[in-house]
Chain A
Amino acid sequence: MVKSGTLILSVAARLLLPLQLLFSVFLLLRGHDEPGGGFIAGLVAAGGFALYLFAFGRHALRRVLRVSPRDLVGVGLLLGVSSTLPAWWSGEPFFTAHWWTIPVIDFKASTPLIFDIGVYLAVVGVVLTAITALVDTDRHDEG
């Protein structure tokens, strides 16, 4: 079933993937003040990858992704946990937020942002793990 050769789909997927990824990063970064955030951004990115998967198959997806989706889940969880470390280090209650302003670009970085990136990666990883696992069973059916 993942052998679609439709021209429209493949062109659309090729064009949409970078756009969707950019949009997801945008949603992720503005999430603290405007609608968005790690969970939504993760779903958008996962949607982009799913489209790409349908257009070009799972080998192409693996090449674009470069890492296993399961590693994304792991890294996401790790980021989520490590965002608690600054509070732990300075002896504050668990999950106390820390804020730093990066001077040149006037960007406010924070542990909630790190945590949100963790959520983002975990969501992308979870959705793609489920989808690729399903696609892999398809391959066995056909083979």
Chain B
Amino acid sequence: MQLVVLGGFLLAGMAPLLHRWFGSRTPLLMAALPAGIAAWLLAQWPAIVAGEALRLEWAWAPGLDISLTFLIDGLSLMFALLISVIGALVLAYSGEYLRGHRDLPRFLVVITAFMMSMLGLVLADNLVALFVFWELTSITSYLLIGFNHTDATARKAAQQGLLVTVGGGLALLAGFVMLAQAGDSWSLQALVERGDALRQHELYTPLLICVLLGAFTKSAQFPFHFWLPNAMAAPSPVSAYLHSATMVKAGIYLLARLHPALGGSETWTLTLSLVGALTMATGAFLAIHHTSIKKLLAYSTVMALGTLTLLLGIGTPGALSAFVVFLLAHSLYKGALFLIAGILDHETGTKDVTAMGGLRRVMPLTATLSVVAGLSLAGLPPLLGFVGKELMFASVLDATAWRWLLLALAFPAAFLTLAVAAIVTLRPFFGARRETPRTPHEPPFAMLAGPLLLASLSLWLGLAPGGLDGLTNAILAGIGAPDAGVHLALWHGVNLPLVLSVASLLLGALVYRHWDRLRLALRRLDPLMARGPEAGYAALMAGLVSLSAWQTRFLQNGYMRNYLVMTLLVLLGLVGHAFFFRHGLAIELGLSVHFHEAVVAGLMVAGAVTACVMRARLAAVAAVGVMGFSIALTFVLFSAPDLAITQLLVETLTVVLLALVLFRLPRFATLSTPLERLRDLVVATLTGGLITLLMLSVLSGERLPRISDWMVANSQPLAHGHNIVNVILVDFRALDTLGEIFVLALAAVGVYAMLRFHAGEYEARDDGRTGGPPDG
């Protein structure tokens, strides 16, 4: 399975090549991969439903406890099935939706990569692997939202989605590290069994906050909900796939997965219930403001994600089974509706529901599917959405904390959602026929296959929800409600949830009837809306930009002397602190100095002082050279030939480089004030003093066993070399050297780029006169 997922990334990379060979048939061809995965997953269904969990071991970095082990239990089976089935449908669909689009190959690359990341996310058992896949979904989502990269709003929406989800991802990483520390394992399966220990742990609250931040941003919970509707700038198949059926549910998946490990505490219950209920109400309320069909659907997705969080917060077995059914129902109907929205957009050329009407005559099949999916969204019998909504009402009525507040938020959300369902499914297809920018007709079958399958599943599972009993019980066993023995049914008799459903049907119909007037009335709230969480995001971004501008001006102003002062001050602070406060000063001055050593040291001091006071530049360079060669001499005196040779060569090359730049430098001038020079003198003296003390202290006592003894002893037997310096460089500490040559290369690139830029300026100025072609 791991190989299939990793191979999927390879397939993604090959998409442009395949597209060259197979042309417009490529998407159908590539859909075979998720379809095959779905078939394999279906074959595992009986075993999983019987209560088994499949564990596919795969070591990755065993020394760090990181594995690529996949875990297939009820929860991941359901998610993986949704991802692969809807993935196959979306691939087939997008082949028609983007037919002839010149960026189709790019689209296929990214969406296939996303599909594989998402599969990895829900299947991974290891926190690190999960996190890697989690971030991959954020990045691919960014590329997909910004698919129309010539459109500024799409780019902005993509960046917003990325920053919000990746910001949350950063918190999630911190949360995972704490989680692994508290639970003493990186494996989800092991962590889930240590729930009691985790909830008692002192890190519980901070780690819960971090994990929740990650999950809430990913799943667009209040107050981070704003990025999801903006993400509708993506092509419709992307919205159907990422922003309703799969990616936005990653946060929900994580919460469900960690429910047995972290859930059940008061913090968990209160936070999730409240945030979920607020998200529900916000999503449903904001939905009816909009007339764009995709925005309507996006806000109702926000509402649905809130519902799922709320149900996880309540956490009773009843609420958890409602969670499973609602999640499945939502993925089915919302995927179908987004695909239909894409069809409408594709066929009519507009996204505005108020501009469409009477389409059922030209698109009867699309209209039928739309009504079926819409009924499920509205939560009407006999569809799966109805089963989900009844269970949701029942669980809210069962909630232990803040029952009436939650109901007061959930009930309006339900009837507003019903109105949204009516708006998106009735408005375009019924009523008087309206002229649209394009003349619509039924789309090709590849575009209808998705809505057809998803809507039929909604209907079939609604009529016979008993078919989900096994899966639901298997999932419940995994997320903290074993032996729940749930039996799903369409009809529960007349009870309070049904009464609530009927009431929401009536109110929803009322809202739909007066939608146009209501929308106008709500316009007046617009100034208030402009001050919502999105304004906070904008302010944060502006603050970030000005902060980085300030710190760049302050720290990186381009003057060498400032960089030096900064670097030395940091060095002084950190090293000085560690030296004086951790180790204390202990120096024995018992050095015996030979005469020639004193001479060399005197030369160095003289060179340094001369370089500082000399006004002629060439003399200063020569003085620095004296210092450098004296250092080389020191190396020779203390028998370190490698260091001496290196020092000599570096000095030589420095002279070469100086020769090249020296005559280009401006005339010598005194630019610094006496005060600045005094500051520099203080910093330099302090640094020199600190390093001297450090050296003396190191030489005074053997605090630690010397590593060089080990190196000397093992250089020949282990590394077959007599030259210890070289053995250290290329064998013992080869990783350091590798890092160093990369830094060197980067420095060369920096020098080259900097000089080329200046050369470019000269060239632009000289072009008229010389006209020589730039080389290199």
Contacts and interface: CB of A to CB of B under 8 A. Distances in A.
B552 interface: no
A45 B140 CA distance: 46
B664 to A, nearest CB: 7
A45 to B, nearest CB: 10
B759 interface: yes
Nearest to B766: A143
Interface residues of A, number: 55
Nearest to B762: A140
Interface in A3-46: 31-40, 43-44, 46
Contacts of B725: 35, 37
Interface in B167-223: none
B567 interface: no
Q: How large is the interface on B (under 10, 10 to 19, 20 to 34, 35 or more residues)?
A: 35 or more
Contacts of A133: 751-752, 755-756
Interface string A114-127: 01101100110111
Interface of A is mostly: helix
A33 B759 contact: no
Contact of B723 (A35, A76, A134): A35
B741 A119 contact: yes
B534 interface: no
Interface in B762-776: 762-763, 766, 769-770, 772, 776
Contacts of B776: 68, 136
Nearest to A39: B646
Contact of A140 (B645, B751, B763): B763
A141 B663 CA distance: 12
A32 B721 contact: yes
B544 interface: no
A40 B758 CA distance: 31
A140 B649 contact: no
A21 B418 CA distance: 82
Nearest to B747: A126
Given A50-B656, A133-B755, A136-B755, A110 B742 contact: no
A21 to B, nearest CB: 15
Interface string B704-733: 000000000000000111110111011100
B653 A43 contact: yes
B653 A77 contact: no
Q: Nearest 9 A-B pairs (CB), nearest first?
A: A43-B649, A140-B762, A32-B721, A35-B641, A126-B748, A37-B726, A112-B730, A133-B755, A33-B722
Given A37-B730, A131-B657, A134-B661, 11 more contacts: A35-B642, A36-B723, A37-B642, A37-B725, A50-B656, A54-B656, A97-B731, A126-B748, A131-B660, A136-B755, A138-B664
Interface of A: 1, 31-40, 43-44, 46-47, 50, 54, 68, 70, 73-74, 76-77, 80-81, 83, 94-95, 97, 99, 108, 110, 112-113, 115-116, 118-119, 122-123, 125-127, 129-131, 133-138, 140-141, 143
15 contacts: A32-B722, A36-B645, A37-B729, A38-B729, A43-B653, A70-B748, A110-B720, A112-B731, A116-B726, A125-B745, A125-B748, A130-B751, A133-B752, A136-B755, A137-B762
Interface of B: 641-642, 645-646, 649-650, 652-653, 656-657, 660-661, 663-664, 719-723, 725-727, 729-731, 734-735, 737-738, 741-742, 744-745, 747-749, 751-752, 755-756, 758-759, 762-763, 766, 769-770, 772, 776
